[in-house]
Amino acid sequence: MTSATHLAIDAVWRIESAKIIAGLARMVRDVGLAEELAQDTLVSALERWPATGVPENPGAWLMAAAKHRAIDHWRRLRLLERKHEELGHELELRQQMAETDFAAELDDDIGDDLLRLMFIACHPVLPAEARVALTLRLLGGLTTDEIARAFLVPEPTVAQRIVRAKRTLAEARIPFEFPRADERARRLSSVLEAIYLIFNEGYSATAGSDWVRPALCEDALRLGRILAELTPHEPEVHGLVALMELQASRLRARVAETGEPVLLLDQNRARWDYVLVGRGLAALDRAEQLGGAQGPYALQAAIAACHARARTAGETDWRRIAALYAALAQLAPSPVIELNRAVAIAMAYGPAAGLALVDALVAGQALAKYHLLPSVRGDLLLKLGRSSEARAEFEHAAALTRNDRERTLLLERAQACDKIASGP
């Protein structure tokens, strides 16, 4: 297989896999089986496309191939008289349709299918961490490794969660339908967390050669916007949408023309998407009007709004940002939030104040494998004139990250410390 074809298949699969799995899950009523059929479709593409070339409409090809695999699966069940009990009623009702108009059924209401699948994956029968991991796997197209890094837990742990979650859903025979309002409220926090983790993987890729993966951000934004329409009175839904809109507004400025990362304070703000900024501020206003100003996503959106409203990096209201992070830390304590608060404290009150908070996190060991901890510490040490120590921190951060672009940036910062130490 040529590398170009492999890259094309990977890119198409990232975009189309969630739609295919969601459509199959509606038909076969089993998310595990739907993923298996979708994976079979991917294998078929890997076998055929290197020889025949990438189809003109690869998404339609994959959807059609998935349709045929589902039909073949149903035929085998009928021929072998081994119908699964949970599929029996569905097969009887849809037997004729499966032979004639299955493709149209798979393509129908894709947005609703994705949300149905998300609420199934976030069913209360599953532990909270399993709900989010399964949603990321099925709808985000993330690998177990990417999910593990998002959660800062070992990869085998995530793999076990996903396998057990699919088995639990199958054994519980969870219906593939949109939950009622009372049931939907019980699952909402896990759904929001899953959407935002998908967005985060797109905004700052954990591994690979790309600093950002805009398609994931777009998927998360689409799901968030649809969810906001379906739950118009939920302030945290609007808070999450506001946060994603505001952060997505910076995507074009986060990467230089040559592909290198551009950090927030160095970004050309003329490249920010102010249509998305306007949408984000409007969603934040909606969340606040609904009484959700102190929700965790609304607080993060308010922080993003501080950056969006600043015409230059120097005009950023870092004291307000530090106060918002303090409120967020009280509401949802987390070492990552503490690290972000340390950055804001350093910007508002000086690097020494921020370094004290970072050193406390280092001593706590909770972020021992999190590359941004030594990266932030290196930045603060450099500002305090401790360039040799800063170099060691940047090198440590580079060793921890698995994103190629980020590793290059950190190593460049480490090398720059030598020039600072040697002087003019």
β partners of residue 209:
none
Distance, CA of 197 to CA of 140 (rounded, Å): 9
The arithmetic mean of pLDDT across residues 376-399, rounded, is: 96
> What pLDDT digit, counting tens, does each position of 268-278 carry?
999 999 999 99
> What pLDDT digit, counting tens, does each position of 313-338 carry?
999 999 999 999 999 999 999 999 99
DSSP state of 153: S
Distance, CA of 243 to CA of 6 (rounded, Å): 34
The arithmetic mean of pLDDT across residues 132-154, rounded, is: 83
pLDDT band at 140 (very low <50, low <70, confident <90, very high): confident
Which of 238 and 45 is assigned the larger pLDDT?
238
> What pLDDT digit, counting tens, does each position of 147-172 carry?
887 777 899 999 999 999 999 998 88
- Report the pLDDT value the prediction gives residue 108, as an integer from 0 to 100: 46
Angle between helix 31-52 and helix 155-172 axes, rounded to 10 deg: 120
> What pLDDT digit, counting tens, does each position of 84-133 carry?
454 455 545 454 444 444 444 444 455 578 778 888 888 889 998 898 88
- Report the pLDDT value the prediction gives residue 86, as an integer from 0 to 100: 47
Lowest-confidence region among 37-41, 262-266, 328-332: 37-41
pLDDT band at 226 (very low <50, low <70, confident <90, very high): confident
The arithmetic mean of pLDDT across residues 387-407, rounded, is: 95
Question: On the CB side of 261, how many CA atoms lie within 13 Å of its CA?
Answer: 22
- Report the pLDDT value the prediction gives residue 105, as an integer from 0 to 100: 47
- Report the pLDDT value the prediction gives residue 422, as an integer from 0 to 100: 59
Which of 145 and 397 is assigned the larger pLDDT?
397
- Report the pLDDT value the prediction gives residue 272, as an integer from 0 to 100: 97
Grouping H, G, I as helix, E, B as strand and the rest as coil, residue 207 is strand
The tokens for 128 are: 């909270």
Which of 66 and 285 is assigned the larger pLDDT?
285
Q: Are 303 and 293 in contact (CB under 8 A)?
A: no
**Amino acid at the residue 27:** M
